Amino acid sequence: MKRLSTQSPQFQQELQALLAFETVQDPKIDQIVADICADVQRRGDAAVIAYTNQFDGTQAQTMADLTLSQDDLKAAFFRLPENVQTALQTAAERVRSYHQHQKQESWHYTDADGTLLGQQVTPLDRVGIYVPGGKAAYPSSVIMNAMPAHVAGVPEIIMVVPTPQGERNDIVLAAAYIAGVTKVFTIGGAQAVAALAYGTQTVPQVDKITGPGNAFVAAAKRRVFGVVGIDMVAGPSEILVIADGSTPADWVAMDLFSQAEHDEIAQAILIATSPDYLDEVQAAMHRLMPTMPRRAIIEASLGNRGAMILAKDLDEACAIANYIAPEHLELSVENAAAWAQKIRHAGAIFMGRYTSESLGDYCAGPNHVLPTSRTARFSSPLGTYDFQKRSSLIQVSEQGAQQLGKIASILAHGENLTAHARSAELRLKD
């Protein structure tokens, strides 16, 4: 892992180089995705079935072969061992409870002249949840995407998940059952995103699509944005650990591994205030590495984009964290809650040495879909609010129309919009 020191005259340049990551928008992938989306828009189900058979190795004849009902989801749940059922239910309940706090409510107030102004909050009608399934199964993604929609009161939650060679994952389907998913289609990739965005004879058109996926899924989400809403286009996973040296080095080493094991281009960074502690963590990583089944990915990720940074104190460490704006920030320090107040940019802040980032991935309660690639400077975790929308409410009283009408008339004439002005003036009494 690279070592950087804030005392080096090249530090700023080195930090820039470390963070440099451009979302690769491969033109070849974009072209494939454009063709698939156009074909699904044109041929509907027939195209979805053909691409699913081609890319996922299935032998579907009709969409019925790629459709699961509530009963199928329920059956998957009851096939699971009891400890898995309980773990899923506990995680889902914690996520539900957290997202309940995020629910926005309608509000209004009345002016002195009797004019009512406010905001009406309503859930989206129908949303699509993309759950990746090409190379691995992600039940936690089901809970993290579907539960906020469920809490928001979305009446129809349509989930898509590819099932390579037709192999269905019971934990994924059980997670859908307890997270309130209405219907599941076992389709994936660009064809699934296009089916949700445009609708087909069988797949209902949704209003918004959320959920992570590979490059084909990301390109398809970018392409259909505008026809439907999307949550975000997520980049590779990131973790930044700030350690004051009070946490066992093995714990910090494993926390860095836990993000590095996602992907060769994931990013794991440690900032500490003592070179001895950096050495200790480095030694722990060497010792633990051979025990990791995903060693090759971890080594590639740490080698490509990982770093250890020596800072002069924790204030400086927090300033660097604000610049990096990481997806996950662990404050592995004494008095973590006090230091958290210095953090303005991070997707999620894990406070104190007992709060490993992995608890947030599965069951702590907050969402694990978080802004990456420095976008935490301006965006937030996926939440209940992403499945709600707001309509402005205005009810002007007769008295209010007199005062507002005069103002609107003056401004409308200033814009040469005569109908606007007259519409306001017609309601004036004299």
Cβ proximity to ligand NAD, 223 vs 368, nearer residue: 368
DSSP output for 358-390: HHHHHTSSS-S----TTGGGT-----GGGGEEE
Cβ proximity to ligand NAD, 41 vs 423, nearer residue: 41
CA distances from 132 to 139, 141, 169, 296, 386 (A): 10, 8, 12, 22, 20
Catalytic residue among 150, 280, 299, 328: 328
Cβ proximity to ligand NAD, 56 vs 255, nearer residue: 56
How far apart CA 266 and CA 365 sit, in angstroms, is 23
Q: Which of 18, 32, 46, 319 binds ligand NAD (CB under 6 A)?
A: 32
137 contacts 127 by C-beta, under 8 angstroms: no
How far apart CA 424 and CA 410 sit, in angstroms, is 10
Site for ligand NAD in 187-246 (CB under 6 A): 188-190, 212-214, 216-217, 234
Please identify the residue of the shown chain whose CB is closest to the bound ligand NAD: 189
Reply yes or no on whether 357 is catalytic: no
Reply yes or no on whether 327 is catalytic: yes
Shortest Å distance, C-beta 212 to ligand NAD? 3
Catalytic residue among 238, 280, 299, 327: 327
397 contacts 413 by C-beta, under 8 angstroms: no
Site for ligand NAD in 50-79 (CB under 6 A): 55-56
- Give strand pairing partners of 156: 126
To the question of whether residue 259 is assigned a binding role by annotation, the answer is yes
Cβ proximity to ligand NAD, 161 vs 249, nearer residue: 161
How far apart CA 85 and CA 352 sit, in angstroms, is 29
- Give strand pairing partners of 96: none
Shortest Å distance, C-beta 361 to ligand NAD? 8
Shortest Å distance, C-beta 219 to ligand NAD? 10
Cβ proximity to ligand NAD, 169 vs 273, nearer residue: 169
Q: E-strand spans in 254-317?
A: 267-272, 307-310
DSSP output for 89-115: HHHHHHHHHHHHTT----EEEE-TTS-
To the question of whether residue 130 is assigned a binding role by annotation, the answer is yes
Q: Which active-site residues does the annotation give? A: 327-328
Annotated binding-site residues read 130, 191, 214, 237, 259, 262, 328, 361, 415, 420
Residues that bind ligand NAD (CB under 6 A): 32, 55-56, 132-136, 138, 141, 162, 188-190, 212-214, 216-217, 234, 262-263, 368-369
Annotated binding-site residues for substrate read 237, 259, 262, 328, 361, 415, 420
